[in-house]
Amino acid sequence: MAQVDPVNQYDFVIIGAGTAGEAAAYEARRRGASVAIIDRELFGGSCPFWACMPSKTLLHAAGIHVVGGDYSWRRASARRDYMINREGRDWPNDEGHVHGLEAAGTEVIRGEARIVAPRIVRVALADGGEREVEGRFLIVAVGTNSTVPHLPGLDKVKPWTNREATSTRTLPESIVILGGGPTGVEMAQVFARYDVPVTLVQAEDRLNHRDHPRSSDALARALTADGVDLRFGVRAERVEPGVGRDGAHRIRLTDGSTADGHEVLLAIGRTAPLDGLGLDTIGVELRDGRVDPDECLRIADDTFLIGDPAGPEMHTHLAHYQGEIAVRITLGEDVQPDFRAIPRATYTDPETAGVGLRLEQALEQVIDAFEKTTDLATSAKGDVAESFGHTTIVVDRASRTLVGAFIAGPGASEAIHLAVLAVKTRTPIDVLADTITAFPTTTRVMGGLFVEAARELNS
């Protein structure tokens, strides 16, 4: 039996060193608390190595390439490797994250963590042996992995997840993407702009179905122009390995049609690795592999869940926010998370972004809301950028405040933050209408809607 080292005690033991875990560790150390942080894989998590940074780097390269710029796939791949610290190696180097945590005074532990009793975590160390650590508070920040569906034949084709898609050094001959959310649409545009035949299969009737329908329409228009074959309202039924043209895999779909691709990318959702973590030892019962934290992110006494598994949405910026606020709560601040104004963005060309409630969601919550929208193509910004899209706002008549905003167009991911602040602070529409925005920008287009909304309210 492996020798178990003596228990070490800390103020915080954090399981998972992705964005949420790192944010919690740094915040705790800033406040003088002792911290041990554990991860079985890469410190830094998915965002810098397999998700946000490589995908946006490749989107940038593809955007230059598609208009005739000097950005070959070889150059794009090399730039991506540089961004994820993978130059000259197959596995990224996470030493920068480790050194940063250690410099802040955090103890870094590589290994597989399992809760074995309240406040006690046992770690199967990566270099062998075991170790137990005790935390006055436990923070679970294990992130999520790509969901792998139970699909006949899928195990015979070595499907891609976001990891393979964002890190491949060789363009696929063709690819079928299952799922039309942010990962699916972003990687579809990357590969299509490098002349890879792409088929995107989406079970819903539109892309990014939780976004505004006008944003979904803009995404569909953009991907179709790039040559992506979009299939809506259908699901994959089974995979037939290598039976397609030139040895491509054939995906049988629920409407009787097929889609062929030499690679199959899974982008249908994310699953939290909470099973086997030992949460049952502290009285936490998983339901369908999930657990819902309370309004302060607590799942048991002195135990908190942050990042993707905590919800209500999955974003790097939300994970960072939760990491910091969980520490503030544990150390006695009278605060709790405010999720009313979570920005969402997809970094395609054109970008899409949103915050708050769509009109139908507001009405479902019995808010007396109305919507104002503008076709971005008819605006000054649309003219100068030769772009299309929309800006849409949702306004609460009773409170005279903004409850939602949605944009598709150039700079959407930046422009949305005026609306994020307005929803967060319940800024009156009259104040927003009286706010000067620079011309010609996407924010200026949204500012025009604030003026229109104020006139309607004041009429």
pLDDT profile of the chain (459 residues), mean per 10: 64 98 98 98 97 98 97 98 95 97 98 97 94 97 96 96 98 98 98 98 97 98 98 98 96 98 97 96 94 97 97 97 98 96 98 98 98 97 95 98 98 98 98 98 97 96
| Domain spans of the chain, in order of start | 4-44+94-144+272-330, 154-269, 344-458
- Crossing angle of helices 213-225 and 182-193, in 10° steps, is 20
Looking at residue 57, its amino acid is T
253 CB neighbour count, 10 Å cutoff: 18
Q: What pLDDT is stored for residue 1 in this prediction?
A: 40
DSSP 8-state symbol, 285: P
Q: Do the beta carbons of residue 8 and residue 125 sit within 8 Å?
A: no
Type of residue numbered 387: S
Q: Are 197 and 175 in contact (CB under 8 A)?
A: yes
Question: What are 252-257's contacts with CB under 8 Å, separation 24+?
Answer: 253/201, 257/231
How far out from the chain centre does Cα 212 lie? 17
Q: Please, are residues 206 and 220 in contact by the beta-carbon 8 Å criterion?
A: yes
- What's residue 3's pLDDT? 52
Determine the Cα–Cα distance for residues 77 and 62; give it in Å rounded to an integer: 11
Specify the DSSP class assigned to residue 102.
H
Residue whose C-alpha is closest to residue 207's, from 348, 415, 313: 348
Domain 344-458: which CATH number of 3.40.630.30, 3.30.360.10, 3.90.25.10, 3.30.390.30: 3.30.390.30
| Euclidean distance between CA atoms 307 and 330, whole angstroms | 16
**What pLDDT, on the 0 to 100 scale, is given for residue 5?**
53
Instruction: Give the span between the Cα atoms of 104 and 94, in whole angstroms.
Output: 16
- With b meaning 16 or more CB within 10 Å and e meaning fewer, what string describes 337-360? beeebbbbbbbbbbbbbbbbbbbe
Q: Residue 86: helix, strand or coil by DSSP?
A: coil
CB neighbour list of residue 30: distance below 8 Å, 6 or more residues apart: none
Neighbouring residues of 77: CB distance < 8 A, sequence distance ≥ 6: 168, 169
DSSP 8-state secondary structure symbol assigned to residue 3: P
* Strand pairing class (4-15; 35-39): parallel
Q: Do domains 4-44+94-144+272-330 and 154-269 have the same CATH topology?
A: yes
pLDDT of residue 160: 98
Cβ within 8 Å of residue 88, ≥6 positions away: none
Dihedral, CA of residue 275, residue 276, residue 281 and residue 282, to nearest 10:
-50
Assigned CATH for 154-269: 3.50.50.60
**Cross-strand partners of 12:** 35, 137
Say which CATH architecture domain 4-44+94-144+272-330 belongs to. Answer: 3-Layer(bba) Sandwich (3.50)
Enter the DSSP assignment of 319: H
CA 8 to chain centre: 34
Task: Note whether 200 and 185 are within 8 A (CB).
Answer: yes
State both tokens at 34: 């002792």
CA distance 63 to 416: 21
Q: pTM of the predicted model, to two decimals? A: 0.95
